[in-house]
Amino acid sequence: MTGVHNHLEVALPEGNYRDDVKLATAANNALAANVTVPDSVEATAEDGNIILTGTVSYGTELSAAEAAVAVLAGVRSVSNDIEISYALDPVEVDLHVQQALDRAALVPDDSDVTADTKDGIITLTGHVRTWAEHDAVVGAALMARGVVDIRDELEVTG
């Protein structure tokens, strides 16, 4: 056999089916109820598929929006067209990253970790002792305002 043709389709149980208007309403209510998701995020529905649009300042807000609607009954898929705004001065983004790193309890004060920012893309360099420290640094950088993407060049020294 050289290939497999997958013709599977998500079929919702009858009790979980919602028409698009009801599904969009439920999705927007879920977004509004989530304090992490800003008011700028909206949901529309098309044949059980949720489309998220809007602008957020943090990657965590984007993730929270996806998570808020993915669990709703009647959702077949979630398309995330949310944009992360990075209209801040790169120096200000660097400051936000450094403040987030300072708040991360697992990152020692004498760490050589640096975060360089260009167009909302943060490049993390330096050394961490454990994977827990690594994850704390990456998580702290994700919490900084204006972060679009992270380039992880950290070294775990063990």
Band (9; pLDDT cuts 50, 70, 90): low
Q: Give domain status of residue 22, yes or no.
A: yes
pLDDT at 99 over 90: no
End residue of a domain, out of 84, 119, 144: 84
Instruction: Output the CA–CA distances (angstroms, integers) from residue 105 to 20, 113, 130, 151, in the order listed.
Output: 44, 14, 13, 22
Query: CA dist 59 to 128, 151, 156, Å?
Result: 23, 14, 24
Are 86 and 146 in contact by the 8 Å Cβ rule? The answer is yes
Per-residue pLDDT tens over the stretch 143-155: 776 677 889 999 8
Query: 12-21, 50-59, 114-123: which range is least confident on average?
Result: 12-21
| 16-40 mean pLDDT | 91
One domain for residues 94 and 61: no
Q: What is the mean pLDDT of residues 86-91?
A: 60
pLDDT band, residue 112 (cuts 50/70/90): confident
Query: Do residue 24 and residue 51 come from a single domain?
Result: yes
Question: What single-letter DSSP state applies at residue 14?
Answer: G
pLDDT band at 105 (very low <50, low <70, confident <90, very high): low
Mean pLDDT across the chain, nearest whole number? 81
Tokens at residue 143, please?
Answer: 């919490």
Range of the domain at 130: 90-156
Q: What is the full DSSP assignment across 91-145? A: HHHHHHHHHHHHH-TTS-TT---EEEEETTEEEEEEEESSHHHHHHHHHHHHTST
- Reported pTM: 0.54
**Nearest Cα to Cα of residue 107 among 141, 58, 146, 65:** 141
